[in-house]
């Protein structure tokens, strides 16, 4: 089946070189202070484990339920448990404010911009399919506008906005629905065997693993990517082999 769409993970695939934690916290603090003034809960909020992975309910849940994402409910639970009043706080606004623009805390992976533009120049639909805690579709679009690459992207599907994290099929299906592509004519590129490769292949998509020098060893059983690269710059020759003239597509 001819290639019609390429889905990209973001973190450690298209961007890398993350800023130190203190810098990220400072940027989040500055954003909150501009909006709400000085508050005594900011540092506690930054230190909190907002996601419920350590809870007994999470451990008892089945695998599908563990992939459900409810960031605003998790925020609300934290504020309630921390006894922080939120009468004058818009939790969705807080979520957006702490989604620090990616260009301030990371850099484009070498070859990423060229790979995105190569896809667009060859008539491929391009989607970003990304697991995020607080960053929603709107913030992801803004990130890529700031990088000057929004015109190279057709679709964004963030786990916050979709409500499901990779490798759940719902987030991939959202991107498929938005691009109008079929799974068998789509390839996913990402740095995680479990979330990116296995998740995409389960729907019938091809998958390319982006290998990094600093990624911890991954164990995903029988999962085998259709191709492996060390840099996005290596993607065009792989995609070229999977392309066919548009006129030959059914």
Whether residues 48 and 11 share a domain: the answer is no
Strand order in the sheet with 155-158: 155-158, 125-130, 5-8, 186-190, 206-210, 227-229
How confident is the model at residue 218, as a pLDDT? 59
pLDDT at 162: 99
Per-residue confidence (pLDDT) for residue 62, from 0 to 100: 87
- Among candidate residues 202, 179, 189, 175, the one with its CA nearest the CA of residue 63: 202
For residue 183, what is the DSSP state? G
Which residue ranges in the chain fall short of pLDDT 50?
246-247, 249-250
Interacting residues of 143 by C-beta distance below 8 A, sequence separation 6+: 101, 102, 103, 135
Q: Is the dihedral of CA 51, 57, 63, 67 positive or negative?
A: negative
Task: For residue 14, give both structure tokens.
Answer: 């298209």
Phi and psi at residue 68, to the nearest 5°: -70, 135
Does residue 102 lie within any of the structural domains?
no
Across 159-173, b (16+ Cβ under 10 Å) vs e yields bbbbbbbbbbbbbbe
Full residue range of the structural domain in which residue 170 is found:
5-18+107-248
> How far apart (Å, rounded) are the C-alpha atoms in residues 5 and 76?
37
Residues 49 and 166 in one domain: no
Output the domain CATH number for residue 171.
3.40.50.1000
Domain boundary among 69, 97, 125: 97
Which residue, of 63, 97, 131, is where some domain finishes? 97
Residues 90 and 138 in one domain: no
Domain contains 27: yes
Measuring CA to CA, which residue among 100, 130, 126 is closest to residue 22?
Answer: 100
Residue 1 has what pLDDT?
Answer: 76
Q: What is the pLDDT of residues 99-123, one digit of tens each?
A: 999 999 999 999 999 999 999 999 9
Name the DSSP class of 90.
-
Instruction: Count how many domains the chain has.
Output: 2
Q: Please tell me the predicted confidence (pLDDT) of residue 249.
A: 46
End-of-domain residue from the set 97, 119, 145 = 97
At 221 the three-state DSSP class reads: coil
């Amino acid at each position: 089946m001819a290639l019609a769409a390429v889905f990209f993970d973001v973190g450690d695939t298209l961007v890398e070189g993350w800023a130190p934690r203190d810098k990220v916290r400072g940027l989040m603090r500055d954003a909150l202070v501009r909006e709400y003034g000085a508050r005594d809960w900011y540092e506690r909020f930054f230190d909190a484990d907002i996601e419920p992975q350590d809870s007994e309910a999470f451990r008892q849940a089945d695998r599908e339920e563990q992939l459900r994402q409810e960031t605003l409910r998790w925020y609300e639970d934290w504020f309630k448990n921390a006894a922080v009043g939120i009468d004058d706080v818009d939790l969705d606004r807080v979520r957006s404010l702490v989604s620090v623009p990616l260009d301030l805390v990371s850099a484009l992976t070498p070859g990423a911009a060229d790979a995105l533009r190569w896809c667009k120049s060859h008539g491929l639909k391009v989607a970003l399919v990304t697991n995020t805690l607080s960053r929603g579709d709107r913030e992801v679009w803004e990130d890529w506008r700031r990088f000057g690459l929004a015109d190279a992207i057709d679709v964004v599907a963030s786990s916050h906005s979709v409500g499901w994290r990779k490798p759940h099929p719902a987030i991939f299906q959202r991107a498929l629905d938005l691009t109008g592509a079929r799974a068998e004519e789509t390839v996913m590129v990402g740095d995680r065997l479990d979330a990116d490769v296995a998740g995409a292949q389960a729907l019938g998509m091809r998958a390319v693993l982006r290998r990094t020098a600093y990624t911890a060893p991954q164990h995903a059983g029988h999962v085998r990517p259709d191709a492996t690269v060390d840099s996005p710059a290596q993607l065009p020759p792989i995609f070229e082999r999977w392309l066919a003239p548009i006129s030959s597509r059914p």
